[in-house]
């Protein structure tokens, strides 16, 4: 099943006076797993429905393999949609639910049997073929929905928060199955979700949306490690966001920023800034190292070092979350991963005095207010 590329070109959409989508432009490559990520109400589902032909655009175009489909009705588009409510026929068993679109095409019984058996095997539903939807778990129902959508041999599969109705463990399992299924069938998947963990774990590329706009596009690594603004930095994962003022330009790569209760910190100069500019700096909690003793670092490394006291600890098994009050009174979140269990390691506890240190490349500017 070869997939198609999808191009969203200058798409605008209004619901009355409400501007839902604002000049959306996206290039989705053929056969990739692409995610549209954003909070509720940002326009991501509306964009998916436009690709499916379930909503019209007020301006712009949608192309499949460089050909406009904007005037094609939904049933003429080589696209299928998976909804979070499964949309299965309750009176039909699993086999007949999957066979339904094939019967509409008037395929022979032999062709239908061969294709349904292949799809049952692909989605691991062989033993459930004779069951009705009411006899299935949520994950099994979603796999039936997937198999039925794939029966039409779509060029693009649209998935509208397909695992949101499932519990956390089942969501993760089905997400892995989706990724494996994508690898097997090879068509283009466009996945809509509000869950950043889902999007970055399976996608080739991600578009982050907010207030009807695409605020960042890139690989999961680029989105997480180099958020375009404060919204992306806080929506994707967790981050310490700090407001300060540029005091000195150290080099082409680094600046010295002063923070009211944190002191002076060396930050990566990834945006054009000048002395006295007010800036917003992001620093991921897991990038910060925490120790009982002052770290020994090369003098020319610009490593940031702060002293503080542990204000609160949250042990989570695979990591511990520390909330450290620095000498200036600023509370930084620090996440320490537990890669191994060391019996002779002195555990950092509540009220301990600690040192925090990190590479200046990990504290970088996401917003600038010119002084």
DSSP string covering 101-133, please? Answer: HHHHTT--HHHHHHHHHHHHHHTT-GGGTT--G
Residue-number span of the structural domain to which 186 is assigned: 6-234
Of 234, 256, 274, the position where a domain reaches its end is: 234
171 has pLDDT over 80: no
Q: Calculate the average pLDDT of the chain.
A: 91
Same domain, 224 and 284: no
Same domain, 253 and 222: no
Closest CA to 10 of 52, 54, 80, 70: 70
Same domain, 176 and 298: no
Q: Tokens 């056969």 identify what position?
A: 31
> In the chain, pLDDT over 90 holds for what percent of residues?
72
Same domain, 193 and 45: yes
Closest CA to 288 of 209, 356, 203: 356
Same domain, 298 and 230: no
CATH number of the domain to which 346 belongs: 2.40.50.140
Please tell me whether residue 78 adopts helix, strand or coil conformation: coil
> How many domains does the chain fold into?
2
Segment 172-196 mean pLDDT: 88
Same domain, 318 and 289: yes
> CA angle, corner 225, sides to 210 and 173, nearest 5?
75
Segment 119-139 mean pLDDT: 91
246 has pLDDT over 70: yes
93 has pLDDT over 70: yes
Model confidence at 326, in pLDDT bands (50, 70, 90)? very high
Distances (CA, A) of 43 to 54, 123, 195, 311: 14, 30, 15, 40
Q: Which carries the bigger pLDDT value, residue 167 or residue 89?
A: 89
340 has pLDDT over 70: no
Contact by Cβ (8 Å): 187, 122: no
Segment 326-337 mean pLDDT: 95
Same domain, 209 and 272: no
Q: Output the CA torsion 251→263→281→318 (10° steps).
A: 110
Same domain, 154 and 193: yes
Model confidence at 82, in pLDDT bands (50, 70, 90)? confident
Structural Rg of the chain based on CA atoms: 25
For the whole model, what pTM was predicted?
A: 0.88
Task: Give the C-alpha separation, 143 to 11, whole Å.
Answer: 32
175 has pLDDT over 90: no
Segment 194-207 mean pLDDT: 92
Q: Is residue 1 included in any domain, yes or no? A: no
CATH number of the domain to which 53 belongs: 3.40.50.300
The pLDDT value recorded for residue 177 is 83
Task: Give the C-alpha separation, 163 to 198, whole Å.
Answer: 9
Segment 2-12 mean pLDDT: 94
Segment 127-153 mean pLDDT: 90
Task: Give the C-alpha separation, 151 to 113, whole Å.
Answer: 12
Q: Is residue 48 included in any domain, yes or no? A: yes
Q: Is residue 18 included in any domain, yes or no? A: yes
The pLDDT value recorded for residue 163 is 76
């Amino acid at each position: 099943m070869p997939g198609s590329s999808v191009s969203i070109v200058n798409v605008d959409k209004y619901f009355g006076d409400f501007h839902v989508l604002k000049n959306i432009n996206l290039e989705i490559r053929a056969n990739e797993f692409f995610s549209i990520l954003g909070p509720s109400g940002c326009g991501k589902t509306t964009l998916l429905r436009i690709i499916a032909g379930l909503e019209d655009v007020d301006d712009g175009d949608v192309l499949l393999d460089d050909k406009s489909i904007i005037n094609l009705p939904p049933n003429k588009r080589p696209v299928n949609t998976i909804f979070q409510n499964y949309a299965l026929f309750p009176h039909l068993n699993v086999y007949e639910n999957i066979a339904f679109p094939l019967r509409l095409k008037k395929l022979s019984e032999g062709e239908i049997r061969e294709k349904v058996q292949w799809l049952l095997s692909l989605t691991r539903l062989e033993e459930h073929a004779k069951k009705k939807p009411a006899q299935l778990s949520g994950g099994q129902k979603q796999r039936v929905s997937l198999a039925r959508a794939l029966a039409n041999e779509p060029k693009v599969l649209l998935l509208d928060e397909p695992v949101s109705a499932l519990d956390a463990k089942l969501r993760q399992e089905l997400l892995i199955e989706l990724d494996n299924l994508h690898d097997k069938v090879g068509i283009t998947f466009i996945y809509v979700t509000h869950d950043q963990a889902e999007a970055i774990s399976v996608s080739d590329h991600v578009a982050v949306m907010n207030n009807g706009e695409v605020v960042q596009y890139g690989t999961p690594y680029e989105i997480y490690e180099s958020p375009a603004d404060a919204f992306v930095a806080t929506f994707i994962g967790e981050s310490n966001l700090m407001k300060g003022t540029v005091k000195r330009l150290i080099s082409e790569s680094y600046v010295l920023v002063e923070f009211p209760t944190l002191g002076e910190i060396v930050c990566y100069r990834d945006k054009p800034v000048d002395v006295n500019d007010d800036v917003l700096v992001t620093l991921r909690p897991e990038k910060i190292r925490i120790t009982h003793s002052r770290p020994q670092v090369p003098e020319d490394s610009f490593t940031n070092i702060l002293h503080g006291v542990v204000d609160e600890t949250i042990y989570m098994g695979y990591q511990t979350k520390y909330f450290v009050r620095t000498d200036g009174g600023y509370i930084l979140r620090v996440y320490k991963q537990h890669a191994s269990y060391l019996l002779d390691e002195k555990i950092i506890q509540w009220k301990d005095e600690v040192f925090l240190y990190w590479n200046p490349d990990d504290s970088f500017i996401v917003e600038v207010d010119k002084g």
